[in-house]
Amino acid sequence: MIDIDELKFDDKGLIPAIVVNDDSGDVLMMAYMNRESLRISLERKLTCFWSRSRQELWLKGETSGNYQHIRRIMTDCDRDTLLVYVKPDGPACHLGNESCFMDDVMPREEKEHERFTLCGLMELIKGRKNESIEGSYTSYLFEKGLDKILKKIGEESSEVIIAAKNDRKETVYEISDLVYHLLVLMAEMNIDIKDIILELASRHVIDKKVKQEKMTS
C-alpha cells in the first residue's frame, strides 16, 4: 500500500490519472487529480478529478450519470502517475464514446487472427439468433431448438475424446467445434461469456481460501 504522501504531484499540485475499464482493460480517459480529488475518490470509490479549465473539483458522472466505480488504484515506479481501474456506468467520453481514445495516429497492423475474439464470435451468434439468415448453420441450430443444440454438443464432445487419443491438430479442430456449439447453447439460454468468467473466478477465490486455510492449520 502506497500512502498519498508518497505520490509525486507536479508544481501545480496535480498528478495524471489514467482511467482503465477493469473488465476489458481498455483505457477510457486521462485526467488529473489533486490531493483533495484523490481523497474524495478513495472515500467515495468514485472517480473525482481536478478540472484545469474550470479550476474546480469534478466528480465524473455527477451531471451525466456516467459514474466510474473504482475497483483499484495503482501508481508507477516513479510515483507520479496513477492507474485507476473502474467499472463505468456509461461512456467515458463527453462525445458519447466508451473511451476518449478513438482516433488512430498510427494504425496497428493486425494479422487476421488477431481481429478474432470469442466475444466477437458470441455477438455474431447472438445476431443469428435474433435475426435468422437463410443458409446460416447457426440460424438453423436456433430454428431447430435446444434439443438439436444439445445433440450437437454431445456429438462434438465425443469427437474431442476420440481426437485426443490420436492427434493434437485434430483435437484442436474438434475442440473448436465444441466451443462453437457451446457458445450457441449459451446464446440460446441467454448466458453471457462474462457469466462463465465470474463463475470460474469465484471458484478460484474459494480454492485460494482453502489453500490458505490448509497452510495455517
CA gap 207, 77 in Å, rounded: 32
> For residue 64, what is the domain's CATH number?
3.10.20.810
Mark whether 51 and 128 lie in a shared domain. no
Mark whether 121 and 74 lie in a shared domain. no
Say what the pLDDT of residue 114 is: 61
Containing domain of residue 10, as a range? 4-88
Mark whether 116 and 84 lie in a shared domain. no
Domain membership of residue 180 (yes or no) is: yes
Mark whether 49 and 81 lie in a shared domain. yes
Mark whether 41 and 83 lie in a shared domain. yes
Mark whether 124 and 193 lie in a shared domain. yes
Mark whether 138 and 50 lie in a shared domain. no
Mark whether 118 and 176 lie in a shared domain. yes
> For residue 119, what is the domain's CATH number?
1.10.287.1080
Domain membership of residue 142 (yes or no) is: yes
CA gap 157, 174 in Å, rounded: 8
Say what the pLDDT of residue 112 is: 59
Mark whether 84 and 128 lie in a shared domain. no
Mark whether 201 and 119 lie in a shared domain. yes
CA gap 32, 60 in Å, rounded: 12
How buried is residue 194: exposed, middle or buried, by Cβ count under 10 Å (0-12/13-18/19+)? exposed
Q: Does the CA dihedral 52-56-59-63 come out positive or negative?
A: negative
The total domain count for the chain is: 2
Mark whether 66 and 118 lie in a shared domain. no
Domain membership of residue 106 (yes or no) is: no
Q: What is the pTM of this model?
A: 0.57
Mark whether 139 and 199 lie in a shared domain. yes
- pLDDT by position in tens, the chain (length 217): 889 999 999 999 999 999 999 988 899 999 999 999 999 999 999 999 999 999 999 999 999 999 999 999 999 999 999 999 999 999 999 888 999 998 889 877 766 566 678 888 999 999 999 999 999 999 999 999 999 999 999 999 999 999 999 999 999 999 999 999 999 999 999 999 989 989 998 887 666 666 666 666 6
